[in-house]
């Protein structure tokens, strides 16, 4: 058998931020602060609770110009992959 590529290995995040148990809007603020510290084009995986966090954070990040790469339900929490945009001229 040949080796199969693991989809997670292809989009492996540069950093992970566990915000389970963190209320809105603190989780959005912490996500944005972490993204500001990262290099342009870097991928951040954020762990969020169901309910308001997963309903609000992805949309707010998208409106702020961040790319949402993936949203995965991991039974008990959601893993959101956010790409920091490359610097615009």
C-alpha to C-alpha distance for 83 and 39, rounded to whole angstroms:
10
Q: Is 76 left (phi over 0), alpha (psi -120 to 50) or beta?
A: left
Residues involved in catalysis: 24
Residue for token digits 């148990």?
A: 21
């Amino acid at each position: 058998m040949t080796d199969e590529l693991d989809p997670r290995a292809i989009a492996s995040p540069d950093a992970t931020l566990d915000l389970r148990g963190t209320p809105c809007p603190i989780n959005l603020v912490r996500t944005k602060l972490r993204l500001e510290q990262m290099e342009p084009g870097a991928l951040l995986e954020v762990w969020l609770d169901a309910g308001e966090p997963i309903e609000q954070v992805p949309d707010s990040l998208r409106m702020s110009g961040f790319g949402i790469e993936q949203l995965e339900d991991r039974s008990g929490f959601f893993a959101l992959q956010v790409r920091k945009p490359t610097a615009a001229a």
